[in-house]
Amino acid sequence: ILGATGFSQQSIAKRRWKRTTLPTRTNNGKGHAKKSKTRCSKKPLLVNFKELGWDDWIIAPLDYEAYHCEGVCDFPLRS
């Protein structure tokens, strides 16, 4: 069963999650409280053609590790 993203829950569950937090200021009356945000980073995503129902016309590879961007991106982007 495919989710709203077009990938099965099993594929999504195989993602490895690492969070990098960035301190940001919020106003707690003094302006010194910190709130964390997730920094933009490349995350793995397993694409399995059998789970997508494409294995009858895609012979090889059976699956591959794709990537997607996740988190808050600072602009301008840093290298």
**How confident is the model at residue 6, as a pLDDT?**
61
Q: Is the dihedral of CA 4, 6, 12, 18 positive or negative?
A: negative
Are 66 and 47 in contact by the 8 Å Cβ rule? The answer is yes
Q: 27 lies in a domain?
A: yes
Q: Quick one: average pLDDT of 19-32?
A: 49
User: What are the structure tokens assigned to 5, written together?
Assistant: 């993203």
- What pTM value is reported for the model? 0.43
Distances (CA, A) of 74 to 31, 37, 61: 21, 11, 35
Q: 77 lies in a domain?
A: no
Q: 4 lies in a domain?
A: no
Q: 50 lies in a domain?
A: yes
| Higher-scoring residue by pLDDT: 62, 4 | 62
Mean pLDDT over each residue of the chain, to the nearest integer = 71
Domain count, the chain: 1
Domain carrying residue 58:
9-70
